[in-house]
Amino acid sequence: MEIPFTSQQTYIDDFSASDYFKTYYVDGEGILGEWTNFVLQNLHETFTAGGVKGDTLLDFGAGPTIYHLLSACEVFDKIITSDFLEQNRDALQKWLKKDPGALDWTAVIKAVCELEGNRENWEKKAEKLRSKVKEVLKCDALKSNPFEPVVLQPADCLLTCLCLEAPCEDIKSFCNVLKNFKALIKPGGHLLILSILDATFYYVGKKYFSSMTTRKDELEAAFKEAGYEIEKAVYAPRNDTSRMDICDYKAYYYIHARKPE
């Protein structure tokens, strides 16, 4: 579907955190079961056998979600999460404060506990993540310092899931964001990007949002051009094509890159 590029103002006016959660992540109904498994499995491996750990993890463009932080909280002392939209940052704060109106991530938390061989302790896991998240910041991928006016110390790891296809119009803009991310990462530090290939749009509530169409043949070249070393690249096809009307991506990707020493 040809969707015109979604402006920042449209995001501010029309992106609903609760509709996004309901459409994509709510237990048993959200369309992203396959995606969530892809992310949880890859990040579990990265933060265990993969040996990625450190003092600070910077999470970029979380939306209203926390699923991707559940393994990270075992190996980082401090997590700074972020999103462009106030409504998403509010949803994150509600979950952190156990507000009665918070989004319910219980099923995903249990799934990560299962991956880690510790299913019965899901409430402790949630508490651990809450204790590690120290800040929820505003970010804008299109600024040379995406956290402006806040200046952050470079982190051991920058993680971003399903985000850059929203603000970037094309691979050139995506590559530019990767270049700007380098100031946010320590020398030798990690950049972990998990997202989707070949999408043109996604649907939230009653609105369609554009997606940059990330192509496999351009993706790794963008990381190299931005000056990273690729440690690992994982691609998996979308098997469940039942809801192409909600989002038309064809595959999942995970790039683990490093900023050179």
Positions that interact with ligand SAM (CB under 6 A): 8, 11, 15, 61-63, 65, 83-85, 88, 139-142, 161-163, 166-167
Q: Which residue is nearest to ligand SAM (CB)?
A: 63
Size of the chain, expressed as the number of residues it contains: 261
72 DSSP 8-state letter? G
Shortest CB 16 distance to ligand SAM, Å: 11
Q: In this structure, are residues 256 and 232 in contact, taking their beta carbons and an 8 Å threshold? A: yes
Nearer to ligand SAM, 111 or 163 (CB): 163
**Cβ distance to ligand SAM smaller for residue 19 or 121:** 19
Nearer Cβ to ligand SAM (40/115): 40
Residue 99 annotated as part of some ligand binding site? no
Question: 103 is written with which tokens?
Answer: 């989004």
Neighbours of 140 (CB within 10 A): 15
Q: How far apart are CA 55 and CA 34, in angstroms?
A: 30
User: What is the smallest separation between the CB atom of 3 and ligand SAM, expressed in angstroms?
Assistant: 13
Query: Is 62 one of the annotated binding-site residues?
Result: yes
Asked if 80 contacts 155 with a C-beta cutoff of 8 angstroms, the reply is: yes
61 is in an annotated binding site: yes
Residue 88 assigned as binding residue: yes
The span from the CA of 123 to the CA of 116, in Å, is 14
Is residue 67 a known part of a binding site? yes
Largest CA distance in the chain: 46
Which lies closer to ligand SAM via its Cβ, residue 75 or residue 247? 247
Least distance (Å) between residue 260 CB and ligand SAM: 25
Please give the Cα distance from 121 to 141 (Å, whole number): 36
**Closest approach of Cβ 180 to ligand SAM, in Å?**
11
CB of 93 to ligand SAM, least distance (A): 14
**Residue with smaller CB distance to ligand SAM, 89 or 260:** 89
Parallel, antiparallel, or unpaired for β 76-83 and 54-59?
parallel
82: its two tokens: 């972020």
Q: How far apart are CB 157 and ligand SAM at their closest, in Å?
A: 16
Our CB check for ligand SAM shows the closer of 56 and 210 to be 210
State the Cα–Cα distance between residues 156 and 189, nearest whole angstrom.
5
* C-alpha span between 157 and 248 (Å, rounded): 30
> Which residues fall in the annotated binding site for S-adenosyl-L-methionine?
20, 25, 61-62, 67, 83, 88, 140-141
> Which residues fall in the annotated binding site?
20, 25, 61-62, 67, 83, 88, 140-141
